[in-house]
Amino acid sequence: MRMKTEKFYIGNIPVIVWGEQSEKVYLYVHGKMSRKEDAAEFAKIAENSGWQTVSFDLPAHGERKREAYSCNIWNGISDLRQLESYIFSAWSRVSLFACSIGAYFCLHAYEGRAFEKCLFLSPIVDMEYLIQNMFSWFHVTEDMLRSRGEIFTPIETLSWDYYQYVKQNPIVRWNSPTHILYGGRDALQSLEVIKAFVALSYSKLTVSPDSEHAFMEDADKVTVKKWMAECTRQKDG
């Protein structure tokens, strides 16, 4: 049976609401090279526990690829706060699913917001760590970035303004009950970095030893699906 969906816009943000009417909803925040339609499998799993799902396209993704609106921390926060106003007025119980850079944006946009439950898949929790690794991988120095302002790399264009924001705004608190699935071969965040976040946030960590950041192998997809099902069924707090 095909899941019920409703598509509309919140401002300029394209949104899908998945599932039958409920008082409970997950906000689904995808990562890079993804789009709102990729929430389909999670939405089916969440609906089995009585939850609707709201997904949307991050800047420069999905329907917004051609917009002159970059997928950076400032635009990400702005979009998430627009979604926040809508979601917390329309549903009485709100949880969060976020992946990779989507999780990083949420950690900034929703620092003081309490969610019933959060699921983070391969979250970026320490962007300074990642950027400094990129310096090493692509033979870039702080002085080079400061003088040029931006430097292109195969992963992402490094920005001096973004780097300064990251250094000045580390993640220091996260108060919502959170489940994390981390790949033991993730090259973007070390296990030590993830464990440091777990310690400050009292999150529950699951490590898939042979998985990489993207969880793209067939076995990875089984792992992610099982983890999502277990976490959405589990009662926290």
Task: Concatenate the DSSP letters of all residues of 84-102 into one string.
Answer: HHHHHHH-SEEEEEEETHH
**Mean predicted confidence (pLDDT) in 8-29:** 97
CA separation for the pair 214, 122 (Å, rounded): 7
pTM of the entire structure? 0.96
**Mean predicted confidence (pLDDT) in 214-237:** 92
Taking residue 134's Cβ as centre, other Cβ atoms within 10 Å add up to: 19
Residues 191 and 156 in one domain: no
Residues 24 and 117 in one domain: yes
**Is the pLDDT score of 236 beyond 80?**
no
**Is the pLDDT score of 13 beyond 70?**
yes
pLDDT tens for 127-172 read 999 999 999 999 999 999 999 999 999 989 999 999 999 999 999 9
Q: 93, exposed or middle or buried, with CB in 10 Å at 0-12, 13-18, 19+?
A: middle
Looking at residue 2, its pLDDT comes to 85
Looking at residue 202, its pLDDT comes to 82
Residues 132 and 78 in one domain: no
Residues 176 and 69 in one domain: yes
Residues 81 and 14 in one domain: yes
Residues 116 and 215 in one domain: yes
Residues 145 and 37 in one domain: no
**Is the pLDDT score of 237 beyond 60?**
no
Residues 105 and 208 in one domain: yes
Residues 67 and 112 in one domain: yes
**Is the pLDDT score of 180 beyond 70?**
yes
Residues 178 and 229 in one domain: yes
- Alpha-carbon torsion angle 77, 82, 86, 92, nearest 10: 20
Q: For residues 67-92, b (16+ Cβ closer than 10 Å) or e, as one string?
A: eeeebbbebbebbbebbbebbeeebe
Residues 48 and 115 in one domain: yes
pLDDT tens for 45-103 read 999 999 999 999 999 999 999 999 999 999 999 999 999 999 999 999 999 999 999 99
148: which residues sit within 8 A by CB, 6+ positions away?
Answer: 160
**Mean predicted confidence (pLDDT) in 124-129:** 98
Residues of the domain holding 81: 5-126+171-233
**Is the pLDDT score of 42 beyond 70?**
yes
Query: Domain count of the chain?
Result: 2
CATH of the domain at 211: 3.40.50.1820
Residues 137 and 30 in one domain: no
